[in-house]
Amino acid sequence: MFSTSNAMTVVESALAEFGQGVAVLTSFQREGVVIVDMVQKSAPGTPILTIDTGRLPEATHRMIHKIEDRYGLAVERIHPDPAEVASMVDVYGRDLFRDSYAHRVLCCQVRKVRPLGKRLETVSAFFAGLRRSQSESRVDIDFFDRTVSPVKVSPLADWSQRDVLDYIAANDLPEHPLYAEGYTSIGCDPCTRAVVAGEDERAGRWWWETDEAKECGLHFSPEGKVERKVDVLLREILERATV
């Protein structure tokens, strides 16, 4: 039988340390729903944040409503800047992420990273549903990542997928409908697919990209500063958005 004691200790420690300055950030995948449940049991009314990129699956919107009904609160949707999105789409098209790795990162910057960064300036810490066993890039996740601001808190860092499923079953939590269709990681609709046997949990994200495609070329700014290609693209988009 799985134990939630360690995860709950992390949750309660974060709540005690950060108080009203903490929030839950989730896309309502299984891990995120577990975090929401733990936090709401310990501190009802703790803000729940999610990023609405404008390209989410309809199933994710239905999932948000289920969470709101269950816990009796309103989930805060974080939206990208309309002018920045319009500028990007006007120049590169709505599905620019298919063109290159740099264009995909640009889309993520405009639709997710920038709006999230602005919102997180108002919190001291946030809960995330990251686990070390999800992918090789996450094997070193700490419960408290104090190298970033705000502090990232990952109560499920040492959990297995089985632990997550057992907690969901034991607490009768709602589950994102796309899991039933073979998805194991859920993001924007056009950038996520179901996985096949043998693939890791994150294989359904940006599956068309190769390691070679992700090697982003360097450029020099007018001041002689070395920049990634995506930095150049983003600067141009932001300049157009302010005109």
Is residue 176 within 8 A of residue 28, CB to CB? The reply is yes
3-state SS class at 82: helix
Q: Give which of 179, 203, 204 is closest to 59, Cα–Cα.
A: 179
Is residue 241 within 8 A of residue 84, CB to CB? The reply is yes
Which residues are known catalytic residues? 216
Q: What share of the chain is helix, strand, coil (3-state, %, to 5)?
A: 45, 10, 40
C-alpha to C-alpha distance for 242 and 239, rounded to whole angstroms: 5
Burial class (CB in 10 A: 0-12, 13-18, 19+), 122: exposed
C-alpha to C-alpha distance for 194 and 182, rounded to whole angstroms: 5
Q: Which residues contact 235 (CB under 8 A, 6 or more apart)?
A: none
Of the chain, the end-to-end C-alpha distance in Å amounts to 59
175 — phi, psi (to 5°)? -125, 140
